[in-house]
């Protein structure tokens, strides 16, 4: 999900940093 959306990637990183290091 975060990989497809760079905008959500920033928010998703706070919840799941392991998914997008």
Contact status, residue 2 vs residue 14, Cβ threshold 8 Å: no
Would you say residue 20 has pLDDT above 60? no
pLDDT band at 14 (very low <50, low <70, confident <90, very high): low
Both tokens of 13, joined, read 């990183």
Number of C-beta neighbours around residue 10 at 10 A: 11
Three state DSSP letters for the chain: CCCCCHHHHHHHHHHCCCCCC
Confidence of residue 16 (pLDDT cuts 50, 70, 90): low
Task: Answer yes or no: is pLDDT of 2 > 60.
Answer: no
Does residue 10 contact residue 17 with C-beta atoms inside 8 Å?
no
Tokens matching residue 19: 């998914």
């Amino acid at each position: 999900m975060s990989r497809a959306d760079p905008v959500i990637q920033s928010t998703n990183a706070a919840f799941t940093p392991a998914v997008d290091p």
